[in-house]
Amino acid sequence: MELIIQIIIYLCIGLFAGFMSGMFGIGGGSIRIPLLNLVGLPLLTAFGINLSVIPFSSSVGAISQRKNIDRKIAFYMVIGGTLGSVTGAFLTGLIPTLVLYVAS
């Protein structure tokens, strides 16, 4: 029974965050992460879940706005965003190594 309640809570959070994102264009993460944390998930878990949901919610938004997309600019934004994400993830992975180096 507890599992069913958890599933219902997560569905409601997803529905609410998706609704707010679709209606007002605000990032679902600004709603999804705090709500997931509020129901007991650690912040890093809530953040990871949010990152896994972003491509799907963004795709729905892009499909609904497809007439307003400048594909040339979007292409360059995808390249820049991908490079920035890879660089950020790489640098974040170095933080534990740097902390150990500075501490020793």
Predicted confidence pLDDT, tens digits, the chain (104 residues): 899 999 999 999 989 988 887 777 676 788 899 999 999 999 989 988 988 888 888 788 788 788 888 999 999 999 999 999 899 989 888 887 777 777 66
Burial of 48 (0-12, 13-18, 19+ CB in 10 A): middle
CA distance 33 to 43: 7
Burial of 21 (0-12, 13-18, 19+ CB in 10 A): buried
Q: Is 25 left (phi over 0), alpha (psi -120 to 50) or beta?
A: left
Within 8 A by CB and 6+ apart from 45, the residues are 36
